[in-house]
């Protein structure tokens, strides 16, 4: 009895199911596309705390997906078992930024398409998605809201500061007001006319104004 006769399940036959050239080419391209996704993620990240480990995860996820799909496409029986095995996997990590979900799906989709042999689609699609994200992800304009935290010593200073803000901004609305003895604190939501914040310097120099703070606010974080 030969060694191959022991494995009647065809284990040794699966060794050559995917050629060495196909494996090397697929994994190298998966690494390149995963690295491209990582660079786009790093370039377009707009959150508060950047985690480099998530970027490395995108590279690894692209390569792992390619590895799995290569195995699945080479054996129909294996594909059924793979579905059952992956169905028990549970991911506990919380997604902090909504855009992170798009990058995760991008990495998985690139790995699937690449392992399926659609190399032009994987490359062209990744480049197109990257360009679109670079254009729109961090796009800022004058309509972005800002919060002005103002402290003044009386009602006269409050009126003068409010009138000044209304003249210098496109929109100005009081969000909160706190009154203490000899001090008034106000929070304004404003929209700038132009991308210029020099008016805050003038505002802080007004009589009765103790301090003026301008905070960028996009509805998700302040910074």
Lowest mean pLDDT among 59-68, 89-98, 124-133: 89-98
Which pLDDT score is estimated for 29?
A: 93
Domain ranges in the chain are 3-136, 145-216
Please compute the mean of the pLDDT values over residues 12-37 and round it to a whole number.
Answer: 80
72-to-66, 68, 108, 126, 186 alpha-carbon distances in Å: 10, 6, 15, 23, 61
**Cβ atoms within 10 Å of 97's Cβ, excluding its own:** 16
pLDDT at residue 1 is higher than 50: no
Q: What pLDDT sits at residue 141?
A: 52
Instruction: Give mean pLDDT, residues 65-89.
Output: 65
User: Does 217 score more than 80 pLDDT?
Assistant: no
List alpha helices for the chain, DSSP H. 3-6, 20-44, 52-74, 76-86, 98-115, 119-136, 155-168, 199-204
pLDDT at 18: 67
Instruction: Calculate the CA 159 to chain-centre distance.
Output: 41
**Confidence at residue 221, expressed as pLDDT on a 0 to 100 scale:** 41
CATH 3.40.228.10 is the classification of domain 145-216: no
Mean pLDDT of 149-177: 87
pLDDT attached to residue 6:
47
pLDDT at 131: 92
Could you read off the pLDDT of 97-126 as tens digits, one per residue? Answer: 778 888 889 998 998 888 888 889 999 999
Q: Across all residues in the chain, what is the average pLDDT?
A: 78
- Report, as an integer, the average pLDDT of 48-54: 73
Average pLDDT over every residue of 61-74 = 83
Whether the per-residue pLDDT at 165 is higher than 50: the answer is yes
Q: Which residue has the tokens 């309509």?
A: 143
Q: pLDDT tens, 138-156?
A: 665 556 788 888 888 888 8
Region 185-191 average pLDDT: 88
Answer with the residue of higher pLDDT: 15 or 151. Answer: 151
Q: Kindly state the average pLDDT of the residues 158-181.
A: 87
Task: Provide the 8-state DSSP code for 223.
Answer: -
pLDDT at 51 over 70: yes
Distance CA 62, CA 83 (A): 18
Distance CA 223, CA 220 (A): 10
Q: Kindly provide the b/e burial profile for residues 77-96, where b requires at least 16 CB atoms within 10 angstroms of the residue's own CB.
A: ebeeeeeeeeeeeeeeeeee
- The fraction of the chain above a pLDDT of 90, given in percent, is 15
């Amino acid at each position: 009895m030969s060694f191959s006769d022991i494995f009647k399940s065809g284990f040794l036959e699966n060794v050559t199911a995917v050629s060495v050239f196909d494996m090397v080419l697929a994994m190298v391209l998966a690494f390149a596309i995963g690295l491209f996704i990582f660079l786009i993620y790093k370039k377009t990240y707009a959150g508060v705390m950047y985690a480099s480990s998530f970027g490395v995860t995108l590279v690894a996820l692209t390569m792992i997906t390619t590895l799995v799909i290569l195995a699945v496409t080479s054996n129909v029986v294996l594909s059924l078992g793979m579905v059952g095995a992956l169905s028990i996997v549970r991911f506990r990590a919380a997604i902090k930024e909504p855009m992170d979900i798009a990058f995760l799906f991008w990495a998985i989709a690139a790995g699937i398409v690449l392992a399926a042999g659609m190399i032009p689609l994987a490359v062209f699609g990744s480049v197109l998605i990257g360009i679109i994200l670079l254009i729109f992800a961090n796009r800022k304009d004058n309509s972005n809201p800002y919060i002005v935290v103002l402290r003044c010593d009386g009602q006269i200073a409050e009126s003068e500061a409010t009138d000044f803000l209304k003249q210098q901004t496109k929109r100005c609305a009081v969000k909160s007001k706190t009154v203490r003895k000899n001090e008034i604190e106000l929070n304004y939501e404003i929209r700038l006319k132009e991308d210029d914040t020099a008016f805050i310097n003038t505002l802080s120099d007004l009589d009765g104004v103790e301090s003026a703070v301008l905070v960028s606010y996009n509805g998700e974080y302040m910074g």
